[in-house]
A and B are shown apart, each in its own frame.
Chain A
């Protein structure tokens, strides 16, 4: 295999398909290109205070780095690449200067290989080299983890020091003369590599990391060209970390990234280092699984093949895969993912860097539920005849549905959009049902009488990244770790970095962060609202107070009273200000935010509550209704991609497509519009969801006025313009205090219920997934 290390300054410009994305930057000393080079830009840096995504890790919180949006450019440019998320190779760039923003007085000047560069105070030598556009090989250093300095791969020479220094752990000092190309450095790297390879097995041909292994890549570039080992290599017992992470501990080079990830990011103390010297091992101390919703990320940060994906073991080679940039729909966070496929199969899902949403982590459900895409799929229209589902042609299926719909009085119709519905299909379904005269629509997860009038009432207004800045947070009726693991991680960062105080009202759950469980009753909520509870004081004395309300609250009968109490707390504690809106309503499902923005809520004339009157029910992938909810004489249409719960009740099944097969718009819980892109072809005779509804509307005689995807989007633009601006966050305008809603009803003293019973199985895809079933068996509710 050719050397593919991209941190080595190659003499030739490498051709890549995405050549447009490459940025060649001239000498960093040239101040005329200050914006592009590493020279500290004097441009406004403080305004991004709320968006500091990565500043904390290097211990230089407050020195903020410029954030450039787009998947082909990363904040730590080349820095995040080797150790972090594996990005498509074509997106790699030649080594260029990493960027940062800092005030000129907070900068120092160092020289890297004879070039003077200005870097922020507190940056390490390695970071200074990155700013200068010099790539330093590393294994243990990871920009999001604490510095361990134990792999010694990043050794560089600094003038007037007796020995080479580990650049990741050495702070850059003014006037430092760093050299990275001297024979001493070359020899040091060769020596370190030789030590690392002494005990590393030569099983690259059967190793799942082969082709995307940092050790493989770096040994090609920095290693010696011959070996001189005669001793036997050591072997280490493999550890069982659960059904997700496969371990081959003999391959481990003890970089301790996984240990640091577990304790610092995931917040579980499950992994640790045992033994010393040659006997050093990574393990779980006692036989124990690694229980975390973020555990799959250790696969990405492991620089070698010690931790690999268990479900996809021995199935793929990185160079066979086609990568498609997409968005996760397993929860409302909308983590950015890359779907790697081979032919018609999704082979793996890995995170994509987006500092504002998921950084470079994704939850285990997002990462491993993809095998559900191959099971239980609906691939042709079906109709129920004498209790049995039988295949039927598209024209006949649509005709049957249209006839059934036209027979029913509009008041007795209803349509429910499922958790994974995209905005386009919800738009089409809303238009279709409205044209039939039906206004009884809702999205799963929202209650049946949700009001979508005030956008700030149903979004995470502090933004996901902004939650890191909070210093006091009240969780109401939510189990944050299970409902949104990535948001929980942001809150955990706030707790770790600025000792934010977290109070929880709701079911008691281990959040893996320091939180005070205040109780699980609305009395506590009321006493905070009245200012009697000590936590009310904590909130009002906080600089950036936040409240996170879980959407499980919507299922309560006294939800208006609960929300009114929360609003009272918000206004008393000054949670909503000009410069800070800490009122967060956490949605559960990917479809919810877009559904609310599109007004996929019951209209004013729609009957509420009594489901018994429903005669015609259109389920757009909605599976949460129990059979008792659906009257026996109702005609049920199920449009979806999986033969899940509701498909068993359906009279006609129209096969749609899953999120990996379509171009769909989703809005995450903070109001950010994002799009999935098709990675694999559709299954069988299935059709895009909006097309099904468009075709059905024509058969039913209420033809929708759009024939193309862009047509639907133009319609969305008219209804909710923010859904047209992809990858943009549309903040909601907070309401003035005077518009506080009147408190309706009284608080019910019943405790808050869990919104998610099993983290691993929440939607049709994860319920069809074998891996998720194994997780449920291994971790229980977790």
Chain B
């Protein structure tokens, strides 16, 4: 609870970052915050069964890197805010286990990649691969 409250406080509206340096600083702070929250999340959502903590950390880092090209401090602030919001939702247990799994474990490809886990490429045609997956193609 304490952690959750802390983040709640930190998501309170702050003045916008004056420069890109300040924005970067906020990003790093938020990343550390997220890393600190990881053990709690692993525990609350029983994520040990599907992912290790370090893997989860690199998934989160990847989510940060996805926006590495952003140069506008306002946009960075916005992204940090949204990230904090997400983290708080996770900590409050406003999400359920499958939300985390589908976002951070399986990734954006969702069910399809889950199915792919078992299929090994035998050099079938595109048609046959689609055929094995579903009737919808």
Contacts and interface: CB of A to CB of B under 8 A. Distances in A.
A joins B in a complex: yes
Interface of A: 394-395, 657, 682, 686-688, 691, 694-695, 698-699, 703, 707
Contact of A703 (B125, B126, B131, B135): B125
B132 A688 contact: no
B132 A698 contact: no
Given A695-B128, A698-B124, A699-B128, 11 more contacts: A394-B132, A657-B135, A682-B135, A687-B131, A691-B131, A691-B135, A694-B127, A695-B127, A698-B128, A703-B125, A707-B126
Nearest to B125: A698
Contact of B135 (A395, A686, A699, A707): A686
A395 B132 contact: yes
A654 to B, nearest CB: 12
In the A-B complex, list the 3 residue pairs whose CB atoms are closest, starting with the nearest: A695-B131, A707-B127, A687-B135
Nearest to B122: A395
Nearest to A707: B127
Contacts of B124: 698
A392 B53 CA distance: 37
Contacts of B125: 698, 703, 707
A272 B56 CA distance: 77
Contacts of B132: 394-395
Contacts of B127: 694-695, 698, 707
B97 to A, nearest CB: 27
B131 A394 contact: yes
A695 B128 CA distance: 6
Nearest to B119: A395
Contacts of A695: 127-128, 131
Contacts of B128: 695, 698-699
Contacts of A691: 131, 135
Q: Is the interface of B mostly helix, strand, loop or mixed?
A: helix
A493 to B, nearest CB: 43
A491 B35 CA distance: 82
B13 to A, nearest CB: 45
Interface string B111-131: 000000000000011111001
Interface of B: 124-128, 131-132, 135
A381 to B, nearest CB: 11
Nearest to A699: B128
7 contacts: A394-B132, A657-B135, A682-B135, A687-B135, A688-B135, A691-B135, A707-B125
Nearest to A394: B132
Contacts of A694: 127, 131
B129 to A, nearest CB: 10
A698 B131 CA distance: 11
B17 to A, nearest CB: 49
Contacts of A699: 128
A585 B6 CA distance: 84
A272 B126 CA distance: 63
A701 to B, nearest CB: 12
A689 to B, nearest CB: 11
Contacts of A688: 135
Contacts of A657: 135
A395 B131 CA distance: 10
Contacts of B135: 657, 682, 686-688, 691
Nearest to B126: A707
A707 B124 CA distance: 13
Contacts of A686: 135
Contacts of A698: 124-125, 127-128
A695 B125 CA distance: 9
A691 B125 CA distance: 13
Nearest to A684: B135
Contacts of A687: 131, 135
A694 B124 CA distance: 13
Nearest to A704: B127
Contacts of A682: 135
Contacts of A395: 132
Nearest to B127: A707
Nearest to B131: A695
A707 to B, nearest CB: 5
A199 B106 CA distance: 64
Nearest to B124: A698
Nearest to A683: B135
A44 B131 CA distance: 53
A707 B132 CA distance: 14
A658 to B, nearest CB: 13
Contacts of A394: 131-132
Contacts of B126: 707
B123 to A, nearest CB: 11
Contacts of B131: 394, 687, 691, 694-695
Nearest to B133: A394
Contacts of A707: 125-127
A707 B127 CA distance: 6
A707 B128 CA distance: 9
A385 to B, nearest CB: 21
A694 B130 CA distance: 12
A719 B131 CA distance: 26
A659 to B, nearest CB: 15
A687 B124 CA distance: 18
A608 B127 CA distance: 36
A76 B22 CA distance: 76
A703 B125 CA distance: 10
Nearest to A662: B135
A506 to B, nearest CB: 43
Nearest to A688: B135
A657 to B, nearest CB: 8
Nearest to A687: B135
A703 B124 CA distance: 11
B127 to A, nearest CB: 5
A299 to B, nearest CB: 34
A459 B127 CA distance: 37
B118 to A, nearest CB: 10
B101 to A, nearest CB: 24
Interface centre among A394, A688, A707, by most chain B C-beta atoms within 10 angstroms, is A707
A657 B136 CA distance: 13
A716 to B, nearest CB: 18
A711 to B, nearest CB: 10
A695 B127 CA distance: 8
B133 to A, nearest CB: 9
A691 B136 CA distance: 11
A550 B127 CA distance: 42
A682 B126 CA distance: 21
A440 to B, nearest CB: 27
A707 B137 CA distance: 10
A288 B131 CA distance: 53
